[in-house]
Structure 1
Amino acid sequence: MVRWKKIAAILAPVLLLSACGSTQSASSANDSSAGPNAVISVNGTEPQVSLVPMNTGEVGGDRILSAILAGLVAYDPSGKPVNEVAESITPNSDATQFTVKIKDGWKFTDGTPVTSESFTKAWSYAANVTNAQLNSSYFSIVKGYDELQKEGTPSDAQLSGLVVKDDHTFQINLNAPDSALPSQLGSVSFLPVPEAFYKDPRAYGEKPIGNGAYKLVSWKHGQGAKVIRNDDYKGNFPAKNGGIDFRFYTTLDSAYADVQAGNLNLLDQIPATSYSSYQKNKNVKVFTAAGSQTQGISIPERLKHFSGEEGILRRQAISLSIDR
């Protein structure tokens, strides 16, 4: 897999609310949702797994988690990373160690404070092979990752490369220099979780506790999820409405039909079947703007010349040939 950073998924909730950022977006022409307390209905998809940031890697779950959890870094509508929970993220001379200072006053919606361990314990949980988290590989850059891949590792074993100095300061020690690390820390994989998560991860995944601009009030599997504004949010991007009603669709065509009928406020993509007609459709308002996007190339190892050492070298060659 040749992968780019997952910025588009992180931006999605913000971009949906501003009706820009994706190539084409459409909203209902007779949309009556307005005002600071309006709840806006948007298209979504059923999360593939429970709502745990260390285990979520698809857009349906990413959008909800990005709305209810705030990380060290966030992305503005243009895709630029800005410090969110982090006060500062300072590298050493060769970018193998970063000292993170987090802002005081941040709390999860259960009233518990956001501390250094809200991040370091979550990242260690993700990296630990015993916990079988889908986003484990994101932490392979941190020292101690290989040790946590051994069979029989205790589920609460921590990454040795994460060193907590105090409640508001910790260090990230890497296996190799990576000057781009701060821009990666806004990914869903790096979001914090409260202590309540470790008491019952399964229960948390059904109703996660966040520290973001919104808080989850319901998730009806196969139907949708609703979040409301979190008035205690301390970050750069406060909600400008009362909430978001994520409605799960299995096809873009059905979502587009609801936009046209006035049953859905906002759709962030135009279905291919409507490319030739959507701009002339008087039942929708269309917004087009540049925005961040994620692209990738997947090359299965079963293909000839793409397994073993040869496959590794070929993937590296492809990656180096792409002008980012």
Structure 2
Amino acid sequence: MKRNRSALAGAALLTAGVIALAGCSSGDSGEGTGGDEGSGASTGVVTVQNNEPQNPLIPAVTNEVGGGLVLQNIFAGLVYYEADGAMAMDVAESIESEDNQNWTITIKADQTFSDGTPVTAASFVDAWQYAASDAEFENQWWFGNFAGYNPEAAGEEGALALEVVDDTSFTVELAAPQSDFPITLGYQVFSPLPESFFDDPEAFGEAPIGNGPYKLDKWEHDQVISLVPNETYDGPRQPQNGGVDLVVYATQEAAYSDLLGDNLDVINPNVPPSALATYKDDLGDRAVDQGAAIWEGLTIPARLEHFGNDEEGLLRRQAISYAIDREQITDVIFEGTRTPAVDYTSPVIEGWSDSIPGSEVTHADADKAKDLWAQADAISPWSGTFTIAYNADGGHQPWVDAVANQLKNTLGIDAIGQSYPDLATLREEISNRTLNAATRSGWQFDYPGAYNILGALFITGAGSNDGDYSNPEYDTLVQQGATAPSVEEGNALFEQAQEVLFQDLPVLPLWYRSTNAGYSTVVENVEYGWDSWPIIFEITKE
């Protein structure tokens, strides 16, 4: 999940497909454990590490991990994802189509929000129309393949081709057929909203009312978000605990220290780099090591001096990529818990490839790096310092310092890290385009498909296109892949699109992350999902 701006007009949403998890535990989602709060549920309040949300807690505008974990648990969408990435029904009774373009969605009867008001078909339709109505909304681009979508039509609600049939059913017309449309509906932007939201969206963002397994009890900014079981929720994700405190930590080290002392129950999502060599010994069978759909890279915006969309800028990006020894960093800094990235997706996502033309730029080659940098200097001599911005609460300093040292030693330039206290502060500068530096980029997949990252990070104007990358050839290939008649054909087009990315290098692939985490001695039934997030409703604590 991540960031800013509207999407390409007519950009087709999604293709992707079935996740092929390497090492993730499967297990079921908790369906069948149901009943209301108290039917076998433990009463302890579970504490989980989290970030302070950057944005108000509104599905249309929250697309970073701090707020995403909250929305995932206070809202119930049409579908949700089980631990292994499989799609399962939540509020939806059925999602049907004869042509993959015109869909009829039926929801379960007698659903309510936590304030007792009904969840109806209109609750979904009105929420989606609102989310697609403003180009400033972080998640507007998700509606790019809906008929009627216009990213420039700020304020024009009702543009999408959605129609309420009755209280429990509505129709969706897409701009182009999309066979995997149902699987996308587990993302939070497709949540319903109560009528009270439209009366005062600003107030709602501070105290949201959802229809999910939990409801918001309190939000003490920069400290804790407390969730309690929602007694009106009767879906498959029944809470098995007495509530959850999502606790904000300034550093991963502080969180890990509290975990070891049983003052924190669940690390989210990873132990700090300093603990990677010892955490399995520290935690024993409470240590978690499994695959996850998380990709990390280094964004170098074209607006930075010497890094424009010209020959000099491309030469310098290539030189920096060749100068970074990913294998050394993943082995030494991350104790082998990361894997050097050779594409722009993830090995646990179907369609991943380790042989995309141009991906050789991800392999360290000091001589080539020096030569490319010299060619760039011949166009315009380098001056200044190469700065890498990062959030201090994410455990990034060790690898940022290592990359900076590699650039100094290989290219002979000044390179430093620039620390921000937390992710929300860093994201604010990135979103406002006030950050005059390269920045660490991470993508935790929102649903198990390649389009999720290739659309969100690189399509012209897309929600998390932090470097403002734009290439019509890339956009066209991704749109074609998103509406291809099969997952296999779509992934072949996505591979062609990645060739374009390697030609332009708007972001340098760094590594794929695993879930290297753990939990305290006082909780049980802790499971991390395909996306590395702990599955909160399953956790028990006496």
What range is the shorter-chain TM-score in?
Answer: 0.7 to 0.9
Q: Alpha-carbon deviation of 1:77? A: 1.6
**Cα pair distance change 1:184/1:67, threshold 3 Å:** same
Would the aligned equivalents of 1:4 and 1:294 in 2 still touch at CA under 8 Å? Answer: no
Task: Report SS of the residue matched to 2:110.
Answer: coil
What amino acid is aligned across from residue 309 of structure 1 in structure 2? P
Question: What is the TM-score of this pair, normalised by structure 2?
Answer: 0.49
User: Unaligned regions of 5+ residues in structure 2, if any?
Assistant: 4-13, 20-25, 30-39, 303-307, 315-468, 482-491, 499-542
Give the structure 1 partner of residue 271 of structure 2: 270
State which structure, 1 or 2, has the greater radius of gyration over its C-alpha atoms: 2
Would the aligned equivalents of 2:279 and 2:287 in 1 still touch at CA under 8 Å? Answer: no
Give the structure 1 partner of residue 54 of structure 2: 48
Task: Report SS of the residue matched to 2:124.
Answer: helix
Among candidates 138, 144, 165, match of residue 140 of structure 1 = 144
Q: Alpha-carbon deviation of 1:185? A: 0.2
What amino acid is aligned across from residue 144 of structure 1 in structure 2? G
**Cα pair distance change 1:110/1:314, threshold 3 Å:** closer
Would the aligned equivalents of 1:126 and 1:133 in 2 still touch at CA under 8 Å? Answer: yes
Task: Report SS of the residue matched to 1:66.
Answer: helix
What amino acid is aligned across from residue 261 of structure 2 in structure 1? A
Q: In the alignment, does 2:299 pair up with 1:295? A: no
Q: Alpha-carbon deviation of 1:120? A: 0.9
Identical positions, percent? 35
Deviations 1:9-30 (Å, cap 9, x if unpaired)?
A: xxxxxx9xx9xxxxxxxxxxxx
Would the aligned equivalents of 2:280 and 2:287 in 1 still touch at CA under 8 Å? Answer: no
Aligned-partner Cα distance in 1 for 2:199–2:291: 39
What amino acid is aligned across from residue 133 of structure 1 in structure 2? F
Give the structure 2 partner of residue 309 of structure 1: 472
What is the number of residues matched between the two proteins? Answer: 291
Aligned-partner Cα distance in 2 for 1:274–1:222: 24
Deviations 1:252-278 (Å, cap 9, x if unpaired)?
A: 212111111221011131211111111
Q: Alpha-carbon deviation of 1:292? A: 5.1
Among candidates 108, 130, 134, match of residue 125 of structure 1 = 130
Give the structure 1 partner of residue 504 of structure 2: none
**Cα pair distance change 1:121/1:52, threshold 3 Å:** same
Aligned-partner Cα distance in 1 for 2:251–2:194: 35
Q: Alpha-carbon deviation of 1:208? A: 0.4
Question: What is the TM-score of this pair, normalised by structure 1?
Answer: 0.81
Aligned-partner Cα distance in 1 for 2:131–2:295: 24
Task: Report SS of the residue matched to 1:295.
Answer: strand
Would the aligned equivalents of 1:116 and 1:170 in 2 still touch at CA under 8 Å? Answer: yes
Q: Which runs of 4+ in 1 moved over 6 A?
A: 296-299, 313-318
Aligned-partner Cα distance in 1 for 2:245–2:212: 16
Moved more, 187-196 or 299-308: 299-308
Give the structure 2 partner of residue 92 of structure 1: 98
What amino acid is aligned across from residue 254 of structure 2 in structure 1? S
What amino acid is aligned across from residue 218 of structure 2 in structure 1? S
Task: Report SS of the residue matched to 1:293.
Answer: strand
Give the structure 2 partner of residue 110 of structure 1: 115
What amino acid is aligned across from residue 215 of structure 2 in structure 1? K
Aligned-partner Cα distance in 2 for 1:212–1:256: 29
What amino acid is aligned across from residue 198 of structure 1 in structure 2? F
Give the structure 2 partner of residue 286 of structure 1: 286
Deviations 1:146-184 (Å, cap 9, x if unpaired)?
A: 2x6235x44xx2134111111111011001111111001
Moved more, 232-241 or 273-282: 273-282
Q: Which has the higher contact order (CA 8 A, sep 6+)?
A: 1
Give the structure 2 partner of residue 248 of structure 1: 248
Aligned-partner Cα distance in 2 for 1:40–1:239: 11
User: Unaligned regions of 5+ residues in structure 1, if any?
Assistant: 9-14, 19-33
Would the aligned equivalents of 2:57 and 2:206 in 1 still touch at CA under 8 Å? Answer: yes
Give the structure 1 partner of residue 494 of structure 2: 319
Would the aligned equivalents of 1:72 and 1:84 in 2 still touch at CA under 8 Å? Answer: yes
Would the aligned equivalents of 2:15 and 2:178 in 1 still touch at CA under 8 Å? Answer: no
Among candidates 145, 150, 153, match of residue 153 of structure 2 = 150
